[in-house]
Chains A and B, each alone.
Chain A
Amino acid sequence: MPRTLFDRIWDAHRVASLPGGADLIAIDRVFLHERTGAAALARMAETGRTLRDPARVFAVMDHIVDTRPGRGDGTLMPGGEGFITETRAACRAAGITLFDVNDRDQGIVHVISPEQGIVLPGVTLVAPDSHTCTQGAFGALAWGIGSSEAEHAMVTGTLRMERPCAMRVTFAGALPPGVTAKDMILALIAAQGAGGGAGHVVEFAGEAVRGLDMEARMTLCNMATEFSAVTGLIAPDERTFAYLAGRPHAPADFADPYWRTLASDADAVFDSEIVIDASGLAPMVSWGTSPEHTIPVTARVPDGPQRAHDYIGLAPGTPLAGTPLDAAFIGSCTNSRIADLRRAAAILKGRRIAPAIRKALVVPGSMAVRRQAEAEGLDKVFEAAGFEWRMSGCSLCFYAGGEGFPAGSRVISSTNRNFEGRQGPGIRTHIASPETVAASALAGAIADPRDYPA
């Protein structure tokens, strides 16, 4: 019987079929962060339960850490330091590998897991973080869970789950110049709705997906959760294996032949199929308060929920391009890897952001990305253009109660969520690719990156 990639990984991890229809699925890796991980570890300590295999559990400080150079445990978020010190103590007590605040390998969980070779093809990996789907780019089944489920995975080495359905999203044809993986996933969510992937594991396939580098594949899978999918994944190929070779936690005798079997059979049947013509895509920018409120940068704001129009302050029929901006943000697990920074810097090089932009940040996804960018002189390009160059972390991808954008700001952001208040109370967020963020920061208004050739 022909099988999908998802079937292969699921079946290989099924420990038992439970009465009532769920499966008991073995979990190969758990990754925690200080915002939600401490709660899971604290509960384990309370109940006297222990980790089944601490060597396969990892943790990082990324969500609320300060991103200003010279940082320590102190945070701009009131009370944030407690999350850091409690997580550190709990990780030590449990024997978990921790990437601490000033570790040279520190970074956003979904950026450092691949960098460290912790996610590998064919593994199951869970984290109490919704963007764990990012790591599906490596042909792993990686998904976000809650703290209780994280505790379950750490104690039992398994999760109880109903088998999800399988969906294939094929991006046929090649992407036009100036159009990126971010635009692909935004176009999918805009077309199908933020609930379009519910109940499904989504395999991304097709010529335009094959053509993406690993960083762009991570961007594509990153927003599977905004599509309400259980997760996204991409069949591993030579590019995947080359990326992982030599990574600290990847096997030394690299490329298990098993990894080359990780693909959907040509005649595999998916529960649902979507085909998108990649060659017809344009740079996408969100206009409202859900990722489904997204249109091509050249389009006009459509009719949407009144609440979204009121919050964002844009009436139906308004052209999105030209909307004045107050701030710009390049960062997050969606778009903060070296390839993202290179593309944004190429647009900014030799130019200066508009005076209207009162705050502009670049927050590298990991300290390794930061070092690489500095070796290439990208930090100087960003600073000369008027961006602040930060240490790694989640930063203003979300508002934790400390640092914020100036009150009432309209922000162009390379992040993944444009919810009401996501980047601060009353802050209006437009999500887009790093190229679009760079071009818009130069223009001081939402702009088409194709008008700013590198």
Chain B
Amino acid sequence: MSAFPQPLVARAAPLLRDNVDTDTIIPSREMRSTGRTGLADGLFAPWRYVGADTRRENPDFVLNDPAYRGAAIIAAGRNFGCGSSREHAVWALAEYGVKAIVAESFAPIFRNNCIRNFLLPVVLERTAVEAIAGREVTVDLAARSIACEGIAYAFAIEDEAQQMLLHGLDAIDLTLQHRADIDAWTAADRTARPWVYDLPARTQESVTP
């Protein structure tokens, strides 16, 4: 998967609502296969389209505004991505072309899902989000800064997440470098807490209706 485009220059689509949930970002009915693709069309379906089963665009929704169609940056409110843990929400955003979301706060599972898929979650104060919403911004992840109309807004992100996004690092590969530590820990824990590891195989009779 590709790393974060550095720097990212794009207009921030204003979606300044609080508690935007993952059911709205990608409704369950739009998750039609067990794969991670084919989701962009269902992104924000309840708001983007008129009626549940149509693809008729709702002209009032920001991503249907020609100025923001295909937006790479979304400016949002408080607790963005709350609700279901479905990673499909991030896959749908990424497939649509969103590279960064600037919000007042994020739901924790959603934020982790973003990082694992190289989509940048940026937290800024409400006034700063409002100041950049609808404007062209330059996101410099290496410098942890967003510039808009001559003003720079600093943001915080953990070193590890920053490096993963900048270099497209895979978390599993990174962790497997610690395999010796994991093996040693597990060996010691097996003695301390054998009940964690010694699980009964399910008997046939327990699975018969």
User: Which of A26, A42, A86 meets B182, CB within 8 Å?
Assistant: A26
Residue contact B33 to A105, C-beta cutoff 8 Å: no
Q: Is residue B138 within 8 Å, beta carbon to beta carbon, of the partner chain?
A: no
CA distance A35 to B52 in the complex (A): 21
CA distance A16 to B175 in the complex (A): 10
Residue contact A400 to B28, C-beta cutoff 8 Å: yes
CA distance A84 to B207 in the complex (A): 17
8 A/B residue pairs, CB under 8 Å, sorted by A: A82-B34, A130-B109, A146-B87, A155-B172, A158-B178, A250-B195, A251-B198, A419-B19
User: Which of B27, B82, B112, B186 meets A149, CB within 8 Å?
Assistant: B112
Residue contact B85 to A146, C-beta cutoff 8 Å: yes
Residue contact B35 to A145, C-beta cutoff 8 Å: no
Q: Is residue B56 within 8 Å, beta carbon to beta carbon, of the partner chain?
A: no
Per-residue 0/1 for B67-96: is the Cβ within 8 Å of any A Cβ (1 yes, 0 no)? 000000000001100111111101000000
CA distance A268 to B175 in the complex (A): 32
Residue contact A148 to B113, C-beta cutoff 8 Å: yes
Residue of B nearest to A416 (CB): B83
Residue contact B85 to A130, C-beta cutoff 8 Å: yes
CA distance A65 to B174 in the complex (A): 37
CA distance A401 to B29 in the complex (A): 5
Known A-B contacts A104-B208, A421-B27; the reply to A39 vs B182 at CB < 8 A is no
Contacts of A401 in B (CB 8 A): 28-29
Shortest beta-carbon distance from A190 to chain B in Å: 13
CA distance A77 to B33 in the complex (A): 12
Q: Is residue A198 within 8 Å, beta carbon to beta carbon, of the partner chain?
A: yes
User: Which of B28, B79, B112, B207 meets A398, CB within 8 Å?
Assistant: B28
Chain A, interface SS category: loop
CA distance A421 to B113 in the complex (A): 23
Residue contact B175 to A24, C-beta cutoff 8 Å: yes
CA distance A26 to B34 in the complex (A): 27
User: Which of A36, A97, A156, A251 meets B86, CB within 8 Å?
Assistant: A36
Q: In B132-178, which residues have CB < 8 Å from any A CB?
A: 158-160, 163, 171-172, 174-176, 178
Q: Is residue B97 within 8 Å, beta carbon to beta carbon, of the partner chain?
A: no
Per-residue 0/1 for B197-209: is the Cβ within 8 Å of any A Cβ (1 yes, 0 no)? 1111010001111
State the B residues within 8 Å of A (CB): 17-19, 21, 23-24, 27-29, 31-36, 46, 51-52, 78-79, 82-88, 90, 105, 107-109, 112-113, 116-117, 158-160, 163, 171-172, 174-176, 178-179, 181-182, 185-186, 189, 192-200, 202, 206-209
Shortest beta-carbon distance from A168 to chain B in Å: 19
Contacts of B208 in A (CB 8 A): 104
Residue contact A195 to B207, C-beta cutoff 8 Å: no
Contacts of B27 in A (CB 8 A): 399, 421
Given contact pairs A103-B209, A228-B82, A399-B28, enumerate 11 new A-B contacts (beta carbons under 8 Å).
A18-B160, A22-B160, A24-B175, A39-B88, A77-B29, A79-B32, A104-B209, A146-B86, A147-B87, A152-B175, A248-B206
Residue contact A421 to B160, C-beta cutoff 8 Å: no
Shortest beta-carbon distance from A138 to chain B in Å: 14
Residue of B nearest to A97 (CB): B202
Contacts of A326 in B (CB 8 A): none
Residue of B nearest to A29 (CB): B196
How many chain A residues sit at the interface, stated as a range, is 35 or more
Known A-B contacts A42-B35, A158-B175; the reply to A195 vs B195 at CB < 8 A is no
Residue contact B207 to A55, C-beta cutoff 8 Å: no
Contacts of A55 in B (CB 8 A): 197, 199
Contacts of A215 in B (CB 8 A): none
CA distance A401 to B27 in the complex (A): 9
CA distance A151 to B192 in the complex (A): 26
CA distance A15 to B78 in the complex (A): 34
Q: 9 tightest A-B contacts by CB?
A: A401-B29, A425-B52, A251-B195, A20-B160, A20-B159, A146-B87, A38-B34, A146-B113, A148-B116
CA distance A24 to B184 in the complex (A): 13
Shortest beta-carbon distance from A155 to chain B in Å: 5
Residue contact B87 to A148, C-beta cutoff 8 Å: yes
CA distance A11 to B34 in the complex (A): 36
Shortest beta-carbon distance from A56 to chain B in Å: 7
Contacts of A38 in B (CB 8 A): 34
Residue contact A28 to B19, C-beta cutoff 8 Å: no
Residue contact A160 to B174, C-beta cutoff 8 Å: yes
Q: Is residue A142 within 8 Å, beta carbon to beta carbon, of the partner chain?
A: no
Contacts of A43 in B (CB 8 A): 36
Q: Is residue A120 within 8 Å, beta carbon to beta carbon, of the partner chain?
A: yes
Per-residue 0/1 for A26-45: is the Cβ within 8 Å of any B Cβ (1 yes, 0 no)? 10100000011011001100
Q: Is residue A92 within 8 Å, beta carbon to beta carbon, of the partner chain?
A: no
Residue contact B79 to A195, C-beta cutoff 8 Å: yes
Contacts of A181 in B (CB 8 A): none
Q: Is residue A49 within 8 Å, beta carbon to beta carbon, of the partner chain?
A: yes
Q: Is residue A170 within 8 Å, beta carbon to beta carbon, of the partner chain?
A: no
Residue contact A419 to B17, C-beta cutoff 8 Å: no
Residue of B nearest to A230 (CB): B108
